[in-house]
């Protein structure tokens, strides 16, 4: 039986009829959170009815028309996700979810639904995944938004529940709108490279009496890194580049930033272009900086190029070159 990690100690796996006692105990805990919106808990009031619910989904799975999965956190069933409708002929399916209070605030439903949608598009060739939700169910609406779905419209007074007719919002995402695994992986790498660059620039900041954190520079670079100041700049005067190893770069800057020579200093990116090529990456960056040096306020700008490598402990900078303009 498959188990899919959802991060931390959470797992997603099929919810089957033999889970009925555990499922019933979970539904009893979830009733206050679930019953106001859907009749899900109403269907499971004892072991026999809980078994019947899960058996109904097992039968539908055998017919390839619906599926149900549980979310376990620290070994306890706290919620689940499902294909409430699955029509491979039309290429349209609907995803749903539920959760008890113990599972809230961890992104479990979003990650679980994402796994179902990935499978529907990549493995089953579905064209459209829908999300139907009572108009007042703000938690469920937020999940649809986090999944990148579009609100198609409202079915006014579509569903009768607890003596009133409710509006149903219909949200959807199309296969061509869903990011591929490769696109997602590249976006995650780009976010990590952005973080490294932000950490590097922020390491020198000492505005408002804050202390610079030059240890952050050691953390973002590999120990063998090379850092080059092309002091000739754009004027073409031919000055030799100054080449530093990590410590010879850090020491004089740490001194200036802490002995009063350079105060109120900050540096920030204003433009960048990043290319990721497997386990290496390159970034071209334009930056601005400002501060007070020897009592005189200054502003400046420049360009940097940064090389990154993927190491066993994550992405790190391997070299940097810059010129002031």
Q: Are strands 76-87 and 262-277 parallel, antiparallel or unpaired?
A: unpaired
Of 97-106, 213-222, 229-238, where does mean pLDDT reach its minimum?
229-238
Residue 238 confidence (pLDDT): 60
Q: How far apart are CA 270 and CA 272, in angstroms?
A: 7
- The pLDDT > 90 percentage for the chain reads 73
The architecture that CATH gives domain 4-178 is: 3-Layer(aba) Sandwich (3.40)
- Say yes or no: domain 182-324 is CATH 3.30.1440.10: no
User: Which pTM was predicted?
Assistant: 0.59
More confident residue, 189 or 129: 129
The total of other beta-carbon atoms located within 10 Å of residue 173's CB is 20
What would the mean pLDDT of 280-308 be, rounded to a whole number? 95
Position 298 confidence tier, pLDDT thresholds 50, 70, 90: very high
What residues does CATH 3.10.450.50 cover in the chain? 182-324
Asked whether the predicted pLDDT for residue 209 surpasses 60, the reply is yes
Residue 234 confidence (pLDDT): 45
Position 50 confidence tier, pLDDT thresholds 50, 70, 90: very high
Residue 235 confidence (pLDDT): 44
Residues whose CB falls within 8 Å of the CB of residue 231, separated by 6 or more in sequence, listed in order: 239, 240, 241, 242, 323
What residues does CATH 3.40.630.30 cover in the chain? 4-178
* 274 φ/ψ angles, rounded to the nearest 5 degrees: -125, 135
Q: How far apart are CA 141 and CA 151, in angstroms?
A: 9
Per residue, what are the HEC states of the chain? CCCEECCCCEEEEECCHHHHHHHHHHHHHHHHHHCCCCCCHHHCCCHHHHHHHHHHHHHHHHCCCCEEEEEEECCEEEEEEEEEEEECCCCEEEEEEEECHHHCCCCHHHHHHHHHHHHHHHCCCCCEEEEEEECCCHHHHHHHHHCCCEEEEEEEEEEEECCEEEEEEEEEEEHHHCCCHHHHHHHHHHHHHHHHHHHHHHCCCCHHHCCCCCHHHHHHEEEEEEEEECCCHHHCCCCCCEEECHHHHHHHHHHHHHCCCEEEEEEEEEEEEEEEECCEEEEEEEEEEEEEECCEEEEEEEEEEEEEEEECCEEEEEEEEEEEC
Residue 232 confidence (pLDDT): 60
Of 16-20, 81-85, 146-150, where does mean pLDDT reach its minimum?
146-150
HSE toward the beta carbon, residue 220, CA cutoff 13 A: 25
Position 189 confidence tier, pLDDT thresholds 50, 70, 90: confident
Joined together, the tokens standing for residue 47 give 């072991």
Q: Which pairs with CB-CB distance under 8 Å and at least 24 residues apart come from 60-64?
A: 60/86, 64/88
Asked whether the predicted pLDDT for residue 122 surpasses 60, the reply is yes
Phi-psi region of 107 (alpha: psi -120 to 50; beta: other; left: phi over 0): left
Asked whether the predicted pLDDT for residue 72 surpasses 70, the reply is yes
Joined together, the tokens standing for residue 259 give 């002995």
Task: Report the chain's mean pLDDT, rounded to a whole number.
Answer: 91
What would the mean pLDDT of 164-185 be, rounded to a whole number? 85
Residue 5 confidence (pLDDT): 87
């Amino acid at each position: 039986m498959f188990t899919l990690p959802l991060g931390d100690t959470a797992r997603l796996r099929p919810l089957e009829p033999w889970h009925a006692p555990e499922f019933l105990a979970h539904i009893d805990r979830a009733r206050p959170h679930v019953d106001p919106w859907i009749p899900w808990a109403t269907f499971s009031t004892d072991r026999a009815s809980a078994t019947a619910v899960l058996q109904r989904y097992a039968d539908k799975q055998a017919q390839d028309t619906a599926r149900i999965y549980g979310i376990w956190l620290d070994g306890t069933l706290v919620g689940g996700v499902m294909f409430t409708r699955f029509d491979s002929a039309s290429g349209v399916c609907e995803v749903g979810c539920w959760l008890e209070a113990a599972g809230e605030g961890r992104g479990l439903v979003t990650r679980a639904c994402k796994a179902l949608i990935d499978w529907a598009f990549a493995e089953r060739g579905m064209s459209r995944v829908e999300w139907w939700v009572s108009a007042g169910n703000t938690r469920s609406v937020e999940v649809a938004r986090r999944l990148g779905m579009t609100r198609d419209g409202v079915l006014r007074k579509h569903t009768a529940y607890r003596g009133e007719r409710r509006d149903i919002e219909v949200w959807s995402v199309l296969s061509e709108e869903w990011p591929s695994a490769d696109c997602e992986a590249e976006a995650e790498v780009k976010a990590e490279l952005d973080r490294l660059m932000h950490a590097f620039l922020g390491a020198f900041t000492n505005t408002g009496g804050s202390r610079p954190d030059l240890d952050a520079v050691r953390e973002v670079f590999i120990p063998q890194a090379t850092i080059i100041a092309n002091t000739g700049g754009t004027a073409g005067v031919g000055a030799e580049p100054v080449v530093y190893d990590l410590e010879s770069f850090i020491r004089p800057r740490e001194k200036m930033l802490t002995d009063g020579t350079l105060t109120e200093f900050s540096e920030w990116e204003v433009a960048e272009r990043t290319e990721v090529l497997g386990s290496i990456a390159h970034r071209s960056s334009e930056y601005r900086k400002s501060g007070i040096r020897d009592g005189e306020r200054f502003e400046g700008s420049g360009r940097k190029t940064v090389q990154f490598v993927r190491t066993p402990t994550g992405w790190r900078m391997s070299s940097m070159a810059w010129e002031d303009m």
